[in-house]
Amino acid sequence: MSKHFYYFGNRPKSLPSDLMPIVRQGQGHRSTANSPYFERFVQWIQNLGITKNTLVGKPQIDLFSNKSLVDRCAKACCHH
């Protein structure tokens, strides 16, 4: 749960090149690795002019619009 978030879904925003080091592919995230970029990231995201706690785009996969996906997820989740 978050009280301050941005959800871009199918409308992602490109990071400026100076923030690209925060992008991590695969496993191995370290909680302090992005610390040097914190202030710059906050400045960048606030300057997008998007209200916090809003959905900018839709989820790329809308599970609720596809009954077979809903059924598969429910089955995987609830039947062990």
Tens digit of pLDDT for each residue in 21-79?
998 877 777 778 889 999 999 999 999 999 999 889 988 777 677 778 778 777 777 65
Structure tokens at 29: 């995230």
Please give the model's pTM, rounded to 2 decimal places: 0.67
Q: Work out the average pLDDT over 2-12.
A: 89
- Residue 55 belongs to what H/E stretch? strand 54-55
Instruction: State the Cα–Cα distance between residues 59 and 12, nearest whole angstrom.
Output: 11
Is the dihedral angle over the CA atoms 52, 54, 57, 61 positive or is it negative?
A: positive
Please say if the pLDDT value at position 4 is more than 70: yes
Please say if the pLDDT value at position 17 is more than 90: yes
pLDDT at 80: 52
